[in-house]
């Protein structure tokens, strides 16, 4: 059994799960707060579909790669439960809806956005 674990990279040690400092985005009024805060600190919105395997995979990759010490606010939007908020994000920030999707906001404007695998290509440190 040890032979297969070594070959397949298995480990008997459970992987410690990384937890990001997400702020749930659940209300339309938060969008005004995000715009205001973006004048002083980068704001990031991750739009996630809880029923989509690709969205879950990208979220896990984003979490694994994220530098917790980055000076920004992270918002998590469950777009299935908060469809109205998701629609308003697209309208206010003039970005066509996709899922999963990442928006980087500075000075009240989207300075970068991506969807699917391209999310993990955004270097957030360039926007902090």
Q: What are phi and psi of 29, to 5 degrees?
A: -65, -20
Give the start-to-end residue ranges of the domains of the chain. 19-127
Q: What is the pLDDT of residue 27?
A: 97
Q: Cα separation of 32 and 47, whole Å? A: 17
Q: How high is the pLDDT of residue 67?
A: 82
pTM score: 0.85
Per-residue pLDDT for the chain (128 aa), expressed as one digit of tens each? Answer: 454 455 455 555 656 778 899 999 999 999 999 999 999 999 999 999 999 999 999 999 999 988 877 789 999 999 999 999 999 999 999 998 888 999 999 999 999 999 998 999 998 989 98
Tell me how far CA of residue 23 lies from CA of 3, 79, 117, in angstroms: 43, 14, 22
Structure tokens at 44: 């990031």
Class of the domain covering 19-127: alpha beta
Q: What is the pLDDT of residue 2?
A: 52
Chain centre distance of CA 102: 5
């Amino acid at each position: 059994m040890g032979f297969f674990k070594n070959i397949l990279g298995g480990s008997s040690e459970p992987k410690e799960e990384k937890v990001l400092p997400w702020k749930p985005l659940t209300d339309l009024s938060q969008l005004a707060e995000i715009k205001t805060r973006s004048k002083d600190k980068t704001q990031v919105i991750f739009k996630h579909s809880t029923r989509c395997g690709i969205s879950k995979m990208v979220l896990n990759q984003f979490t694994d790669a994220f530098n917790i010490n980055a000076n920004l606010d992270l918002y998590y939007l469950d777009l299935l439960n908060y469809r109205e908020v998701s629609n308003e994000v697209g309208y206010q920030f003039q970005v066509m809806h996709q899922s999963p999707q990442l928006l980087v906001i500075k000075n009240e404007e989207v300075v970068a956005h991506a969807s699917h695998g391209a999310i993990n290509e955004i270097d957030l440190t360039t926007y902090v």
